[in-house]
Structure 1
């Protein structure tokens, strides 16, 4: 390896290269994107179809089945999940990870377009949107006013929308909770009945007058003129001047028989902030932008608008500001990074002395900034995953520098000149350092290869670690030898700590090592017994996926019985809000009635859109679980007493999207069987200890009104069925007839309604009349009867099969894995009817995919590490010695998790896989140096004993610095990262102790030198 020699002899070139890389990293650090959570895309789309007044079964037959059939033909399909309810169908399509999001979105659009002509003509909305975790609001604002009407709030909201969307880094601004305004033509039923005018006649007159058909153009000589015809309505008075009928030279105008006004449509979504009427604006950040710069631009716009245009009785309040959380999170991680750096520096100083420690510590910021520059070039920004990657790498990157500096110092103590000591000492360990780095990189390979949600979510972390390790290798083989060559005579002196460690190595440790080498089978037997004993702890520790997010936010869902009116839902939500407000931790409550709160977290999509649903978005003054979890427990206890509503309290979770921690899918064909079984499953789940907040939307019934038309009588009177249907809709919710455009260019639907009933009422049917073929008005109830019937309220599809999804949360103190397994045991004893079965979803399904993908990639990584070791040692046997350290890392990892009370989560699994590369490094250094001494003529047992004694100090020091770098993050108490830290620390401690004994013992059996 000539790189260290080149770096030392061409020191000017080395300084220039390192300086340029450092400058690149510093510039990237200040300019690269910052966000709270990973900003990534995956191939997914959501299709939303709104067709008011259509039953769930009709939505399935007319809309869902044709769409699912077309989508199911697409390539690389992962799953299709569909929600079907009254007048609404939402289809979520996910493709295999690694496919191009843009291409797959285009495929979905093309599939929907192919079947669009087979769908009902009266569909109100058919939207196709891409699902992106990065497409999350970074800021939710509220315009609050009790004095101003919605029309005034709308003007301010739309003006702010235009101004905010011009801010650099803002992708879009969404306005929510703004009622739809429409021009209502409220017909006086008695007047039209007296005049013999049918609703169909009014509908035809207004629709004809509202149609804007361009007249074309006309030529006059050499000139050409555009011809304008009747055009749009110019005012509400013009709407009223529409002629409905001419009777005996007398015109009957629309204003004679109807009241015309611009007003709100029937309420479907309203919002309040802290009890006051509100309109929400959600700002979505453009991917790759810097959140703090975006926030500065937004604040300038808001400040200017607040001072110049906002009335005193309209307040602009912040509901959620992600930049505050990002700043707190990034500051916290960098505090951990800085604390770890100080610990590493102190340890290096105590053991190596001032000037050698200075060389080691200099490698830390240089390697980190070089890695940040490379990270910026790969397109990743600074967020929790990449910063944790830096924290993990902190303890690893000094290993290379310590090994090089310690070996150079040893050559200086042996009498070499500084330059020669630097060249010889660094070259001697260069291959071991390089192969150790490569094996560590390969241990992080599983996370890079995972093609699933968990892998995509975590990807920035292993990328950061890998880039930092390569940067540290570059520094260790170039700048570290160069700086080491300047150590001078100070490196010949050993510190008190180093002398103490060397004394332990040559005394206590060497005695125990010789005893172990004399009784190798006993040592191996004890080691294997410890390994088996630690494995028995695994069921006690438990398994989980991702923990709670520790956010100062909660969601409270209020589900009212099917058929509940909007006003009653709003009243119940207000009662729940009043109770929640009594909690001292609560700061603000945003009440959403008719729909979920705008999207403010990367793995939560907006909830249901129906009048019997409300959601409270609660912001808190604390995020620590020891304060939030008792609050959640109290709320669940108090809210359980609310009769007439199902109220659930939701905490935010880390990781890829999941419906709920526990999810059981009841799958079948017959909806009656599915509904009956789902109710039984709901009851079974509710009895399992640890289960809380069981939800089963399919288990609910709804009562519909069925207008049973006497077709024979309608035919005899010459009343078309379409006329009856249209008249009923007009009387109840209104019938759109065209569009009205005001002077400011705003468009509003022209809606025909009956004036007697501002809200749809059952009594309306008594007054509805339809026109017969003879021109007579016939009461509707002479042609039809109104009957009540019970039907299913909503159901789901999973991969085109009918399904009921029953979900629940898990109480603190219980693991999701244990609770899910208990539920499954109960369900296996249930008598399932023919054609109905269940599947487990939720966290368990995600965990199996995540851990399964990790295990496959881990096997590949192990083979890669083995190949590197074969190349280095030129032997197939000696790599087995190095691999012996890996199982012993599991002992310490499981023991540490057991003592600290953490479960074996996905991040703990990451810690365990990281250990593979870390512990292998120590074994490589040991075996490589023993081989060098044997090539110089030393006998096998003497060589391994001498190598273990010589490498005792750097192995212990690299272990301590790795632990020191991780200690602040581990002690932070983070439910996400502490398990990973404890797994690495525990595994390192135990594996280092066993490596220093077991590896020499195995070397005695398997240390045959290659030919």
Structure 2
């Protein structure tokens, strides 16, 4: 009976090839439009931030009057998942996290409307709440990573003064650069600016009958004051009325600043010269930035962390080059730093790997077949796959970055696999029956990669785009294999049938076939032996058995163990006994642990390995509490002068801020991989020790780094409490402290604000209200006087034809008035001379400059140290937290928040079982059997043996790349088995009437498919070779390539010797000779 013609065979090969060429041309035309960058495609963020300010307001007042009201409003908005806030001295911030399914634009609009409504209920001194966020962000980035990134640095040289250079750059260059939406800020650093300081004596001001407010108003009137005083009705020429804003501006007084009139008292005009002096002073910067220790002017361009750095850097550099000729004479901009250069280098490296992989694969195809037609078909198929995939990248708006380009490189081998199988099958049988096997094989690979989207975030962020690219490429490969490969085979008139003259040289093949048939027949009779050997080779995980099985990991005998489930009690009575854990566990692990135990010994504690970065020496410094940024800068300058003497250093960058200093040292390429970085670190350590006066630390070169910080304030144990009332919560925290003090092992007890542990001390005053009435004084008058004595104020900006400068007004006594004066001298207020101690009690305490809240709950932390073992500490803390949780009223709770090292619990490994289930159901559909898929699945653990041994003997770190290799292996190693079993099913169906022995049919299917299967496996391994070139410098790709290669090569042995063991091949043969039936079956195909 003649076999039915496939519907695609009725379509001419010319039509199919023409369609393919058109699609390839479209894909080639779209290549310039594909987004190429250094990081994944940004996605819309789900975090909104509301910020506001209230000058000189305490954190408690900000929280009660502003933060709590805004929190209450936004918490009720639909789509809000979490609300947290922080109230600072003079400002506050509310952070809103939205649900995944929330419409960001709609929620943002609703919150904006609510803020407009609540603004009228807030104090007038509060600034209008600003709503930001919801822009595109990279979901894969770590949450604590900065939302901005330093991209470019230009050194600015000119014959102008530093302040004039800064003003010129801010006026002429910054607006041009800020035109890009991704540019967040342009910081011009270096140089010093001047300001005018007016110093007055409060006693002299009071003698003239003036107040400091009179002096401020007089100065503002002199320099010109601009205010919005209200709204007025305005009638235009057409007679229509409208409400407009009335803007009042006073003209400047055209005299010398010393002749500034302040006020008229008793008919006499009081001038500034009568009661104050003024001088120009250099403004001390609040931060310092230097490159290579040079105090020059730098322009730093800071961009969105998720911007396409490579393209944005190119555009900005081109624009600045275009701007340079239009700058004033003597003004030069020199590029000194480009963060995109490293990303560009990494991108070029991956492109090189892709081209190398492509070249290796094509050379391999040529060496195997030595046939130009065969090579041409494979090369055209590969080109068609890539160019048609480009169309998919464009349609789905995908960005090609480092991980997605690596996905293309890996998928090249898989694409060639599908092409080889279809070419070999179609050129031999001239039908498309192999497509079902190709479909199942590639769908299993796709199914294994889909699991990536359900993995923990720290794994998913590396593999998300990598998986999507492979899925797209394999989907395209299916289409090309079905439609275009057969058309190419027809057009090239290619046939894979061997000529008769070559059959005479197949004696070794026939000898192997006879041996293989006998091997399979032998294993079919004694399967249990091989089952036991395979289980022992893979390993029984006795080493992974926990000490006990409880609902929670506690470190003492639970009183409620009797109520635990029967299986927990059974486990604890057997594997959880002291005898098993101490006497039997280790010997059983050594005997039955197999390769899994060896692999576990070489496995890192943490599955996730940080992305390897270029070696840089980072030096950090922090002053003790009370130290200033200027004192720290002096120490940093000493270290900079030391670093300048090393020619091996390419560049070092210094940043000194209020919180501390950070120096980043980059090495020249020729010295980076030598011993110099380690030598320099040791010399730097010696230098910073000699400098002293600060806490110094280093990291980035040696594994352990260095730190001389005693960290005497550190507490290793914490208990956090949360509640809705701050005062009550603080009292509960004090109760916990009192409870902890009862244990003599507990020490260093303190109440902290989480996230703000390092805070300066402050003097606070407790007023005595009855004495105010007794002495006829007021707290407001005393507060105003102290403010004038202790602090200054910015009163505006003075401009004339020669100079533009800020004016700062301060008391002459502000540098001399101290705590002793507060306690022992009289101060002059508007209500007379006053001695302060009878009116207030002064004490020292840690400043609470921030009040955090989460979901409208306040959070405090009781931190302490415990002298004792870890088990004792854990048990004691749990007792305390349970005790107070029972005592707390509704709305308050106590948490054990003792920090611990992160340890990978291995939950993501269970997802491999999901991959196995996906493969099982796909193979069940293809084979129409519930038994044969189990044969396919056995290849997965056997190939894992190869991966385990590879990592054990090579000593390569497992990391995320190793886990990715296990995921990919689960989908790859089954492909070979699918091709052979599918061919076996086809042979069985064709020879059903002749009742051939199943062993013979299996061997026949093996002989037909082993060459293309062997080629596909080797092609995949060769496609990974470029990832091995850089060695362990590229930790992720090296562990991924070596794990996948080891598993694939071992899977060949599993395919040949293990898979037949699980095949149901026991049926007896009929009396006909095998070779005659083979010939008759072949004619029916």
Q: 1:521 aligns with which of 522, 528, 534?
A: 528
Quick one: distance in 2 between partners of 1:220 and 1:339?
A: 75
The 1:36–1:855 alpha-carbon spacing in structure 2 relative to 1, beyond 3 Å, is: same
- Inter-CA distance 127–268: structure 2 relative to 1 (3 Å threshold): farther
**Could you say which residue in structure 2 is the equivalent of 1:587?**
650
Distance 1:177 1:91 in 2: 31
| SS of the residue 1:268 aligns to | coil
Listed as ranges, the matches of 1:700-739 within 5 Å are: 700=758, 702-707=760-765, 709=767, 711-712=769-770, 720-735=778-793
CA drift at 1:994 = 1.0
Q: 1:369 aligns with which of 387, 391, 405?
A: 387
Give, in angstroms, the shift of residue 772 of structure 1.
4.3
Equivalent positions of 1:319-398 (< 5 A) are 319=337, 321-354=338-371, 355-398=373-416
Give the one of 139, 161, 165 matched to 2:151.
139
Whether the 8 Å contact between 1:36 and 1:325 is mirrored in structure 2 is: no
Secondary structure of the 1:562 match is: coil
Q: 1:318 to 1:677 in 2, by over 3 A?
A: farther
Match of 1:944 in 2: 1002
- Structure 2 match to 1:889: 943
Counterpart of 2:562 in structure 1 is none
1:389 Cα offset (Å): 1.1
In structure 2, do the counterparts of structure 1 residues 143 and 634 end up closer, same or farther at CA, with 3 Å as the change threshold? same
Task: Provide TM-score, normalisation by structure 1.
Answer: 0.78
- How far is the alpha carbon of 1:719 from its aligned partner? 5.3
Aligned to 1:687: none
CA 1:265/1:486 → structure 2, altered by over 3 Å: closer, same or farther?
A: same
Distance change >3 Å, CA 948–CA 864, structure 1 → 2: same
* Structure 1 residues 241 and 300: CA distance shift in structure 2, 3 A: farther
Task: Identify which of 896, 901, 910 aligns with 2:955.
Answer: 901
Alpha-carbon displacement from aligned partner over 1:465-518 (angstroms, at most 9, x marks no partner)? 111111111222222222222444674458999979967963765564454344
Structure 2 distance, partners of 1:285, 1:803, is 35
Question: Does residue 1:996 correspond to 2:1074, yes or no?
Answer: no
Distance 1:993 1:385, change over 3 A: same
Q: Which has the greater radius of gyration?
A: 2
Partner residue, 2:316: 298
Instruction: Give the aligned partner of residue 663 of structure 2.
Output: 616
For the structure 1 residues 612 and 334, does the alpha-carbon distance in structure 2 shift closer, same or farther, using more than 3 Å as the test?
closer
Cα distance, 1:481–1:328 mapped onto 2, change above 3 Å: same
**2:225 aligned with 1:210, yes or no?**
yes
Structure 2 residue corresponding to 1:540, chosen from 597, 602, 611: 602
In the other structure, the counterpart of 1:406 is 424
Shift of residue 944, structure 1, vs aligned partner:
1.9
- Structure 2 CA distance for partners of 1:518 and 1:795, relative to 1, 3 Å: farther
Which segment drifts farther, 760-769 or 993-1002? 760-769
Describe how 1:710-789 pairs up with structure 2 within 5 A.
711-712=769-770, 720-735=778-793, 752-755=809-812, 757=814, 772-773=829-830, 776=832, 787-789=843-845
Q: Which runs of 5+ in 1 are unaligned?
A: 412-420, 595-610, 654-661, 685-694, 807-821
Does residue 157 (structure 1) correspond to residue 159 (structure 2)? The answer is: no
Match of 2:460 in 1: 455
Aligned match for 1:472, one of 471, 474, 477: 477
Tell me how far apart the structure 2 counterparts of residues 922 and 591 of structure 1 sit (CA, whole Å).
57
Q: CA deviation at 1:269?
A: 2.8
Alpha-carbon distance change, 842 to 395 in structure 1, aligned in 2, over 3 angstroms: farther
- In structure 1, the partner of 2:711 is none
Check whether the contact 2:151–2:309 (CA below 8 A) recurs between aligned residues. Answer: no
Query: In structure 2, what is the equivalent of residue 599 of structure 1?
Result: none
Paired residues of 1:730 and 1:752 also in contact (CA < 8 A): no
Closer/same/farther in 2, CA of residues 981 and 359 from structure 1, 3 Å limit: same
Show the counterpart of 1:39. Answer: 41
1:816-965 superposed matches below 5 A: 828=874, 834-835=880-881, 838-839=896-897, 844=902, 852=907, 854=908, 860-936=914-990, 937=992, 938-965=996-1023
Change (3 A) 1:358 1:240: farther
Deviation at 1:1001, TM superposition (A): 1.7
Contact 1:569/1:612 (<8 A) preserved: no
Shift of 1:122: 5.5
**CA separation of 1:224 and 1:921: change in aligned 2, threshold 3 A:** closer
Q: 1:311 to 1:460 in 2, by over 3 A?
A: farther
Q: Secondary structure at the match of 1:647?
A: strand
Q: 2:137 touches 2:306 (CA, 8 Å); kept in 1? A: no
Please, which moves more after superposition, 11-20 or 471-480? 11-20
- Report the TM-score when normalising by structure 2: 0.74
Q: CA deviation at 1:947?
A: 1.7
User: C-alpha distance in 2, partners of 1:908/1:120?
Assistant: 58
Report which stretch shifted further, 328-337 or 890-899. Answer: 890-899
The alignment partner of 1:550 has SS state of coil
Q: Is the 8 A contact 1:959 1:988 kept in 2?
A: yes
SS at match of 2:289: strand
Find the aligned partners of 1:591 and 1:826 in 2 and give their Cα distance: 45
Q: Which moved more, 1:89-98 or 1:362-371?
A: 89-98
Describe the shift of the 1:223–1:73 C-alpha distance in structure 2 as closer, same or farther (beyond 3 A). Answer: closer
| Equivalent residues of 2:67, 2:92 under 8 A apart | yes
Within 5 Å, give how 1:233-272 maps onto structure 2: 234=252, 244-254=262-272, 256-258=274-276, 267-272=285-290
Q: What per-residue deviation string (whole Å, max 9, x for no partner) do you get for residues 872-906 of structure 1? A: 12222222222222222322222222233334323
Shift, 1:935, TM fit = 0.9
Q: Distance in 2 between matches of 1:342 and 1:674?
A: 69
Query: Residue in 2 aligned with 1:979?
Result: 1039
Name the structure, 1 or 2, with higher relative contact order (CA <8 Å, separation 6+): 1
- Paired with 1:675 and 1:315, the residues of 2 have a C-alpha distance of 59
Distance 1:546 1:786, change over 3 A: same
Question: Is 1:137–1:282's contact at 8 Å kept on the other side of the alignment?
Answer: no
- Look up the SS of the partner of 1:844 in the other structure: coil
Q: 2:538 aligns with which of 527, 531, 538?
A: 531
Which runs of structure 2 are paired with 1:267-286 in the superposition (5 Å)? 267-277=285-295, 281-283=299-301
Partners of 2:808 and 2:694 lie apart in 1 by: 33
In the TM superposition, residue 452 of structure 1 has moved relative to its aligned partner by 3.9
User: Could you tell me how far 1:462 is from its partner in structure 2?
Assistant: 1.0
Q: Give the drift of 1:364.
A: 2.3
Tell me whether 1:444 sits opposite 2:445 in the alignment.
no
Partners of 1:572 and 1:675 in 2: CA distance: 39
**Matches of 2:11 and 2:715, distance apart in 1:** 65
Give the equivalent residue in structure 2 for 1:604. none
CA shift in 2, pair 1:870/1:284, >3 Å:
farther
Cα offset, 1:117, TM superposition = 7.3
Q: Secondary structure at the match of 2:1036?
A: coil
Residue in structure 2 matched with residue 558 of structure 1 by the alignment: 621
CA deviations on 1:679-719 (whole Å, 9 max, x unpaired) are 9xxx99xxxxxxxxxx9976646322234555555556765
Bigger drift between 109-118 and 195-204 goes to 109-118
Shift of 1:1000: 1.9
* Residues 163-192 of structure 1 deviation map (CA, whole Å, 9 limit, x = unaligned): 12336x754443265899877654344531
Mapping of 1:48-87 within 5 angstroms?
none
For 1:868 and 1:236, the matched residues in 2 are separated by 89
| CA-CA distance at 1:393 after TM superposition | 0.9
Q: Give RMSD over aligned pairs.
A: 5.1
Partner Cα distance (1:235, 1:761) in 2: 37
DSSP 3-state at the match of 2:407: helix
Q: SS at the partner of 2:902?
A: helix
Contact 2:259 2:272 in 1 (8 A): yes
**Which sits farther off after the overlay, 249-258 or 327-336?**
249-258
Structure 1 distance, partners of 2:715, 2:1004, is: 58
